[in-house]
Amino acid sequence: MSYTNRLLFAGCSTGNPANDLVNMINNNRTAHKLSKLNDSPGLGCMALQLVEFCKSNCTSDNTVNCKPSEDDFTEIFAPNCGVELPTFGTITGRIVGCRSKYLEPSLAFSDVLARDKHVLSILSNKSHSEVGVGMVGVHKGPFFWCVLFSSGWTNSTFVLENHGLGIRQKKGCYSGSSIPCSVGHKAAVFPSKFLILSFLVHQLQPLFANIFIPV
């Protein structure tokens, strides 16, 4: 049975799609007798920074034509997240993908993060010990996902300053964070409260019309 045919989507939604994707990555690694990866907020935030950096580069075949340099990680991504530079560790792999619209975590996993044999080999690499997921959407444009892997140790690599809080991000979501997704991400993913209310009013109008029939 192939890796993608054995996807395990067990567990409830965490309310943060990036955390949900980390859970799916770990469920599928353990299903194949691989070690579970520690969820690193520092890596997750830098994954978000990477897709922010590359978000104008989604190609027609849903790949991201963008290759940040090592200096981009140490001079842009890490400082923008508040990663303490002495704790910057080794990044052992990355997966980056895009689609024309937001996908729910289960679809994002199967269609973006486990899309081919090359990507699956990155997911199943035994040298990984930490993982972080970042995701962001472009207004009326594509949606981007990034997974970063590291061989570092929990609480000693990619440590966020300010007691682990780091610098609050204005857009998107990243895993390992207790901070809710930004307003920008919610707008891209979820319909607005106004639209939901309008839909409910429209649906309930016939019901109230029948209740208040004049006698």
Tens-digit pLDDT string for the chain (215 aa): 344 444 444 444 667 899 999 999 999 999 999 999 999 999 999 999 999 999 888 988 888 989 999 999 999 999 999 999 999 999 999 999 999 999 999 999 999 998 889 999 999 999 999 999 999 998 888 999 999 999 998 889 999 998 778 888 988 999 998 776 754 344 444 444 444 444 455 555 655 455 444 54
pLDDT, residue 202, reads 53
Model confidence, pTM = 0.79
Length of the chain as a residue count:
215
Q: Residues with Cβ < 8 Å from 185, sequence gap 6 or more? A: 135, 136, 137, 171, 172, 173
CA-wise closest residue to 184 among 43, 55, 39, 20:
55
State residue 195's pLDDT score: 40
Q: Residue 148 corresponds to which tokens in the numbers above?
A: 């970063």
Structure tokens at 45: 């935030």
HSE value, Cβ hemisphere, 13 Å, CA-based, for 103: 19
| DSSP-assigned letters across all residues of 9-25 | --S---S-HHHHHHHHH
The predicted structure's pLDDT at residue 193: 42
Tokens of 151: 């061989």
**For 4-211, which CATH superfamily applies?**
CAP (3.40.33.10)
Compute the distance between CA of residue 197 and CA of residue 191 in angstroms, rounded to an integer.
Answer: 10
